[in-house]
Amino acid sequence: MRDAPALKTDFPTRDPGLAEAASLVASGLRRPAMPPLVLDMIAKGLDWVAVALALWFANFAVVHPDVAVSSSALMAIASATVTVTLLGFWGLHRQPVLGKPASACLGAIGIAVMVALFGSMLGYWPEPDLPYLSALAVSLAVFLTPGRILLWGIARLVLDYGLMERRAVLVGGGPNAASLIRGLSRNPDNDIRICGIFDDRDEIRSPSVIVGVPKIGRIEELLDFARSAEIDMIIITLPLGAEERIREILSMATVLPLDVRLSAFSSDYEFPRRVNEAQVEGGLIDVARRPMNGEVRLSKRVVDSVLVLPVLLLVSPIMLMAALAIRIESKGPVFFKQYRYGYNHKPIEVLKFRSMYAEQCDGAARQIVVRDDPRVTRVGRFIRKWSIDELPQLFNVLRGDLSLVGPRPHALDAVSSRQMAFEEIVDGYAARHKVPPGVTGWAQIHGWRGEIDEPEKLLKRVEHDLYYIENRSFWMDLKIILRTPLCLLNTRNAY
């Protein structure tokens, strides 16, 4: 088994200095920034605890000590849940609001009082007389204020150390880039950090450093950089006369899981936009949006971690019997490891049950498995037919390399039965890697699995994968998971 291919960071360029700059920047961006959802969940948790304690204290300890403890606690929990939901609806857990603890605390107290008054109208809370309202206001202030001060400190820490930010690179230097960088720096709520500039022009039209931001590569190296560094956004700031070049960049960026923005200086371009021209964020026009932002990826990861454990327990007897059968029939390891393309075209090591004779295993996938393939063992034919050989990939889900649902990952050097590379068959094939790959997917439940002996079969797979990427939702994932066992009964293309 060959070693995992290294991620490309020494970008080919005519200027060795730019190559070194790109490598240094990429090495500092190996981990993604903290998704805003993390801070939002911390804020919700602290507010929920504070509001529940405040309502319980006002009702039980101050006003009605004769009320049962359990009854009062349940009412406090229910009211706190409603309060936190309303706080999130009105945006009182967003980072800019957390940076203003006084107004945020007053807003939270006001909403909590409204919920308590509504509960009084329904008969769940005491009558809103002066003693009760006074106790409620004081207890809310006492319990909410420390939490909001703590959240303010966390938000400042996150901002100061760049733990939660949108990392961007500019395509195009010169005056437009300088104006954009200055405009972003003047915005106190800006969370975009410009990490570098890519430009093909000479030092006269595009200096090596613009407002403190270095030029780190040529435009042709942007794709490699975006796949080796954890960035969130590409901002195009090329001048008005470079419309054809911008279209080339947009075409190149379609395979990347990144937001693509045009500088407002480019507002005369006739490009498709995801928002109206009046809805420009900080001088940026939204042209393309990544299908899964940090919050969605985090929530999908949580759902995968929760669901994969019962699935593993359910199929563990089948996996145990498969492992014993493989061990008894032929010599060699039970598991087969293969490097495949994962999220953002990065190599991942995928586990399978070994279905071939050990000495004939093809880790590079240079020869696709065909019907009655002599390399496949008898046990291998059975487990491949019923997709049992894929079950060890549930451990990849636990490890975070795969999701339960997503486009199926293909080997790095995968070819069709006609020895054609997948990238040669489908233009923009790498766009499948804009979301994490999965154990099962939209293409698989529609029968597109097994040997790729005709280009049409790969085209259909990619078509279904792209449909999933554009329309993915929790309910779609659940539908795919539930339909997968039934679809495995169709074994026509599995061998």
Name the β-bridge partners of 10: none
Furthest-apart CA atoms within the chain: distance in Å: 86
> What is the distance between the alpha carbons of residues 370 and 416, in angstroms, rounded to a whole number?
10
Q: What is the reported pLDDT for 476?
A: 94
C-alpha 98/C-alpha 151 separation (Å) is 6
Q: What is the pLDDT of residue 64?
A: 53
In degrees, rounded to 5, the angle at the alpha carbon of residue 275 between the alpha carbons of residues 271 and 280 is 95
For 479, the token pair is 């539908």
Residue 169's SS3 state is strand
* Model pLDDT, residue 115: 85
Query: What residue ranges define each of the domains in the chain, with the CATH number in brackets?
Result: 16-30+165-290 (3.40.50.720), 36-160 (no CATH), 295-487 (no CATH)
State residue 330 phi and psi, 5-degree precision.
Answer: -145, 155
Task: Say how far apart CA 179 and CA 173 lie, in whole Å.
Answer: 10
Tell me the two tokens of residue 379. Answer: 């046990």
The CA distance from 67 to 61, in Å, is 9
Query: What confidence score (pLDDT) does residue 3 get?
Result: 46
Spatial CA neighbour of 19 closest among 8, 28, 7, 10: 10
> What are the φ/ψ torsions at residue 148 (nearest 5 degrees)?
-70, -35
Contact 235, 170 (CB under 8 A): yes
The predicted structure's pLDDT at residue 281: 61
φ/ψ region of 146 (left if φ > 0, alpha if ψ in -120 to 50, else beta) reads alpha
Q: What span, in angstroms and rounded, lies between the C-alpha atoms of 35 and 165?
A: 8
Question: What does the alpha-carbon distance between residue 238 and residue 171 come to, in Å, rounded to a whole number?
Answer: 7
Q: CB neighbours of 473 closer than 8 A, spacing ≥ 6? A: none
Tokens representing residue 172 in the block: 């195009």
Quote the distance between the C-alpha of residue 350 and its chain's center: 20
Residue 104: the pLDDT is: 81
Pick from 301, 304, 299, 268: which is nearest to 285 by CA?
268
Q: How many CB atoms lie within 10 A of CB 489?
A: 7
- Looking at residue 423, its pLDDT comes to 78
Beta strands (DSSP E) in 180-229 are 192-198, 209-210, 213-217
329-351 burial, b at 16+ Cβ within 10 Å, e below that, comes to: ebebeeebebbbbbbbbebbebb
Residue 248 CB coordination number (10 Å) = 11
Residue 394: what pLDDT?
95
**φ and ψ at 438, to 5 degrees?**
-130, 165
Q: What is the CA radius of gyration of the chain?
A: 28
Phi, psi angles (nearest 5°) of residue 287 = -105, -45
Residue 244 is predicted with a pLDDT of 85
Give the other-Cβ count within 10 Å of 280's Cβ: 17
**pLDDT computed for residue 77 by the predictor:** 86
Per-residue pLDDT of the chain (495 residues; tens, 9 = 90+): 444 444 333 444 455 556 566 677 766 676 777 777 788 888 899 999 998 888 888 776 555 555 555 667 777 888 889 989 998 888 888 877 877 888 888 888 888 888 888 877 777 666 777 777 788 888 888 898 898 888 888 887 777 666 777 889 999 888 888 888 888 888 766 778 888 999 888 777 778 888 888 888 888 889 889 888 888 899 998 876 778 888 888 888 888 999 999 887 555 455 554 544 434 565 688 888 888 887 788 889 989 999 999 999 999 999 999 999 999 988 889 998 889 999 998 899 999 999 888 777 766 666 677 677 788 889 988 998 888 999 999 999 999 999 999 999 988 877 766 667 777 778 878 889 999 999 999 998 888 876 676 778 888 889 999 999 999 999 999 999 999 988 877 766 665
Token pair 């698989």 is found at 444
